[in-house]
Structure 1
Amino acid sequence: MRVIGLDIHRAFAEAVAWQEGKLKRIGRIDMRRRRSLAVGAVSAGR
């Protein structure tokens, strides 16, 4: 089983994954509106 964790702040979020007993840093995600909309559009295939 894989568990994803997010530490969300105003401008960014830190993402980590817990899998097979190990914690892995996924990285920092930009949470500003313009960037979030762009990520959503890519995820939706637009």
Structure 2
Amino acid sequence: LKNPKTSLLLFKNGKLICTGAKSEAEVGKAINKAYENIKHCIKN
């Protein structure tokens, strides 16, 4: 993601790694943005 400047790795088992964030708030923001981008791909 460009803002906040982070990289996310999402694994098949559901685990997620977020790198590049400078605070926990940026981690939360990055995860929320990523979720908005991929939520249409999630099967319930």
Determine which structure has the larger strand proportion and give its number.
Answer: 1
Larger gyration radius, structure 1 or structure 2: 1
TM-based fold match above 0.5: no
**Given the two structures, how large is their TM-score scaled by the length of structure 1?**
0.27
**Given the two structures, how large is their TM-score scaled by the length of structure 2?**
0.27
Determine which structure has the larger helix proportion and give its number.
Answer: 2
